[in-house]
Amino acid sequence: MGEISDIQIETKDLNVIYHNNHVLKNINIKIPTKQLTAIIGPSGCGKTTLLKSFNRLLDIIDNVKISGEIIVDSENILDHRGNEVPDIRKKMGLLSQKPYPLPMSIYDNVAYGLKIHSKKNKEEIDQVVQDCLKEAGLWDEVKNRLHDPATRLSAGQQQRLCLARAIAIKPEVLLCDEPTSALDPISAQQIEKLLLKLKKEYTVVLVTHTLRQAKRVADYIIFLYFGKVVEQGSANEVFNNPKTPEMKAYLEGEIS
């Protein structure tokens, strides 16, 4: 693995156990800043669990044991007490597998986090909402109906709205959990293009079940297999010169 000069997230001996199921086993990874890192591997290998560990979403699950370190901005976020978790999550925007617009207007969806986390006045919030909808490629489609319910949007539009909502509070990282799997091909392509654009401003971490997608968009790859990191490195290195039998089998379709 080539050395990463600028690290956004690092884990050291991260273990996650649900009930008696050892989901993540001694995970040691480094995620580069302002690149798109794809977490890949067969279903059930721990990809989403790893992603959710980065913003402490595992805290809300019963009977989960977490050990090791997750280092963000030189701090182990697993040491933080509960009252500091909102600050951690503010650094980590989340785009889920299915779009989940809040039961409110298009405008209020994007403004929601700003009203909680910032002291901006209405004019400033108006500008941020417009800027974020533009960044998410949605402004021209909704600018004349900002106060309509967000649920009236198509699935692809809803996912772009969720992306606008995620970046409105200016996180450092965008965590994307299979964000195109519930979308039609055109909407999926729009989300991919947006993520490629947004990595100039944010560190993007993408869980994907589609090897083709990882090949299209990723700069860096983390390959999980049965809860372990089998291989990690630049996308070019991993895809063109895999080091492990498991990675070679995955690329050849023998593991799915």
Are 50 and 39 spatial neighbours (Cβ–Cβ below 8 Å)?
A: yes
List the end-to-end C-alpha distance of the chain, in Å, as a whole number: 24
Whole-model pTM: value is: 0.94
Residue 34 pLDDT exceeds 60: yes
Average pLDDT, integer, range 124-143: 96
The confidence score (pLDDT) of residue 114 equals 87
Domain ranges, ordered by start, for the chain: 1-91+175-256, 99-170
pLDDT digits (tens, 9 = 90+) for 226-246: 999 999 999 999 999 999 999
Q: By mean pLDDT, which of 17-26, 80-89, 117-126, 159-168 is the weakest?
A: 80-89
Residue 107: partners with Cβ closer than 8 Å, 6 or more residues away: 129, 146, 147
Average pLDDT, integer, range 23-52: 96
Options 3.40.50.300, 3.40.50.150, 1.20.120.80, 3.40.50.620; CATH for 1-91+175-256 is 3.40.50.300
